């Protein structure tokens, strides 16, 4: 248990709303925000997505940023969530921190908007720089009141934010940084909406994770960041500890660029590695916030891995992508914050729209909200294209 990291702040923006309170309330109310697109300009606007219901202009206002300055929507979302996190943790302005972000699309929204102008119009050509992941993260670093002495960006597709949180934990354990702000951000873009659409894995209706008749995923967007520090450091400055990060694991499926192996070996290895770091056994896990995208392949592969790990003692399992959509590189961060909210409120949200058990699986996800349930340890899974599988374990601050 000596490796535990205290989580002393959190911030989130997603289809569920802005901030911890709104996010939690909408989860409890069971309101599903997955709907046709309003803000992204695309010919596929009929596809249901978990879009943040704010225009770019409204996001600029929320961030108090100058509209004359071109900023990627990913950066704007990231600024909102990271600022909430540093405020929530009560960090004194100027505190030396590291910022680790997970993202893949970065400034792709700007790139696709001005793509035809690049190389022709010098006024727009400089905007190609915003495509770079480091540059899009700089906007977040520069918007914080802390002294961001170190930034890094991790891009492992849909597990990027989970790996950013794990890397942040290593930075703390190394003693290099007392405080790390880690998470991820991703806005919806035409680029990856069309990419996922061309793969034919988008459901034209709201997604149904783990249901036998599931037809695919809905994309989502958002950002979430958590403030991490050693338990000792948190106690020393008298910080409130929301939860602990007690385990993190990473493994590669090494099976196929876009498909998961049928036995979910990468997922299983990542979950086992996280348990090993935490010094926990499968029976200690009370709830798995699954990757659960709603695609036929992922949910079966992940489900088989869960069956192998937990046997007939399956903990509560559910996917919250039925609320947020799949926010790709930010998903691991959104689900980290949701897991922390669950632990603090002794609550598990329903895996919406589940009706029929998959014949290949021996378990059903949580179909109704569970209240007053003891959550000592929650496992959060994030799996990416290319078999980049990661698992995080969050624990109740009262668990030690």
Partner 1 sequence: MKNKAYIIAASAISAQEPFSRMEDFAALPAEGVFVPCKDPDFKQYINPMAGRRMSGILKRSIAVSKHALSECGIACPDAIITGTGNGCVSDTEAFLTKMVEDGESMLNPSKFICSTPNTIGSQIAISLGCKGFNSTHVDDRFAMEGALQDCLFLLQKGSVKNVLLCTADQMTEGLYRMLNVEGLWKGIPVSEGACAFVLSSSPEGAFAVVEDMVQTRSNPEWELDRMLSSNGLNRDDIDLTVMPEDYKKYCGEFLSASAFGLFCCCQALKNNGARRILLSGESSIGHSYILLSGICTN
Instruction: Name the site residues for partner 1 (rule: CB under 8 A).
Output: 42-44, 104, 111-112, 115-116, 118-120, 122, 125-126, 128, 131-135, 137-138, 141, 147-157, 163, 167, 170-171, 174-175, 190-192, 194-195, 197-199, 250-258, 265-266, 269, 273, 384-388
CA distance 60 to 142: 15
Three-state SS at 362 = coil
Q: Return the number of the residue (27 or 77) whose C-beta is nearest partner 1.
A: 77
**Residue 343 CB, nearest approach to partner 1 (Å):** 26
- Measure Cα distances from 32 to 81, 292, 317, 321, 323 in Å: 21, 16, 19, 10, 5
Q: Which two tokens stand for residue 19?
A: 């901030």
Which of residues 125 and 205 has its CB atom nearest to partner 1 in the complex?
Answer: 125
Closer residue to partner 1, CB minimum distance, 135 or 370: 135
3-state secondary structure of 234: helix
Q: Rounded to the nearest whole angstrom, what is the least distance from the CB of residue 129 to partner 1 in the complex?
A: 9
d(CA 100, CA 85): 13
For the chain, strand residue ranges (E) read 5-14, 17-18, 35-36, 48-49, 96-102, 147-154, 179-186, 222-230, 243-252, 287-289, 316-318, 347-348, 370-371, 377-384, 388-395
d(CA 77, CA 73): 6
User: DSSP per residue over 297-337, as a string?
Assistant: HHHHHHHHHHHHHHTT---EEE-THHHH-B-GGGHHHHHHH
In 10 A of CB 238, how many CB atoms? 7
Q: Provide the minimum distance between the beta carbon of 208 and partner 1 in the complex, in angstroms, as a whole number.
A: 23
Q: Which residue, 87 or 138, is less far from partner 1 as judged by CB? A: 138
Q: Give the Cα separation of 290 and 302 in Å (integer).
A: 8
Distance CA 285, CA 41 (A): 42
Output the smallest distance, CB 146 to partner 1, in A: 11
Residue 16 or 172 with smaller CB distance to partner 1: 172
**DSSP at 352:** T
2 is known as an active-site residue: no
Catalytic residue among 39, 192, 291, 377: 291
Asked if 32 is an active-site residue, the reply is no
For partner 1, the closer of residues 148 and 187 by Cβ is: 148
- Pick the catalytic residue from 146, 158, 207, 342: 158
Min dist. Cβ of residue 347 to partner 1 (A): 32
Q: Is 326 a catalytic residue?
A: yes
10: which strand partners? Answer: 226
Q: How far is the CB of 371 from partner 1 (least distance, A)?
A: 37
Active-site choice (26, 39, 326, 377): 326
* Cβ nearer to partner 1, comparing 42 with 362: 42
Question: Measured from the CB of residue 249, what is the shortest distance to partner 1 in angstroms?
Answer: 9
What amino acid positions are annotated as catalytic residues? 158, 291, 326
């Amino acid at each position: 248990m000596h490796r535990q990291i205290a989580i002393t702040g959190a911030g989130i923006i997603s289809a569920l709303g802005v901030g911890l309170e709104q996010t939690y309330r909408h989860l409890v109310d069971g309101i599903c925000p997955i709907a046709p697109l309003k803000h992204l300009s695309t010919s596929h606007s009929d596809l249901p997505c978990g879009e943040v219901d704010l225009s770019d202009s409204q996001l600029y206002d929320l961030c108090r940023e100058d509209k004359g300055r071109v900023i990627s929507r990913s950066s704007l979302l990231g600024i909102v969530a990271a600022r909430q996190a540093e405020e929530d943790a009560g960090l004194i302005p100027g505190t030396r921190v590291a910022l680790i972000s997970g993202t893949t699309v970065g400034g792709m929204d700007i790139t696709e908007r001005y793509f035809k102008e690049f190389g022709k119009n010098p006024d727009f050509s400089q905007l190609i720089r915003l495509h770079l992941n480091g540059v899009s993260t700089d906007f977040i670093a520069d918007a914080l009141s802390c002294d961001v002495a170190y930034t890094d960006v991790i891009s492992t597709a849909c597990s990027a934010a989970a790996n950013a949180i794990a890397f942040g934990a290593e930075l703390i354990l190394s003693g290099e940084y007392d405080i790390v702000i880690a998470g991820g951000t991703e806005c919806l873009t035409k680029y990856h909406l069309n990419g996922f659409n061309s793969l034919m894995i988008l459901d034209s209706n709201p997604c149904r994770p783990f249901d036998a008749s599931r037809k695919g995923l809905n994309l989502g967007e958002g950002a979430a960041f958590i403030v991490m520090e050693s338990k000792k450091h948190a106690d020393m400055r008298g910080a409130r500890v929301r939860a602990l990060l007690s385990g993190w694991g990473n493994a590669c499926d090494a099976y196929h660029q876009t498909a998961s192996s049928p036995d979910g070996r990468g997922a299983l290895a990542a979950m086992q590695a996280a348990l090993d770091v935490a010094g926990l056994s499968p029976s200690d896990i009370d709830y798995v916030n699954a990757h659960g995208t709603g695609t036929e392949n992922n949910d079966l592969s992940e489900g088989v891995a869960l069956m192998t790990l937990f046997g007939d003692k399956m903990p509560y399992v559910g996917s919250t992508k039925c609320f947020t959509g799949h926010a790709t590189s930010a998903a691991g961060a959104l689900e980290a914050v949701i897991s922390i909210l669950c632990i603090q409120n002794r609550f598990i949200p329903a895996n919406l729209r589940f009706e029929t058990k998959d014949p290949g699986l021996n378990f059903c996800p949580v179909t109704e909200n569970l209240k007053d349930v003891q959550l000592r340890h929650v496992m959060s899974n994030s799996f990416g294209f290319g078999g980049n599988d990661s698992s995080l374990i969050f624990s109740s601050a009262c668990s030690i």
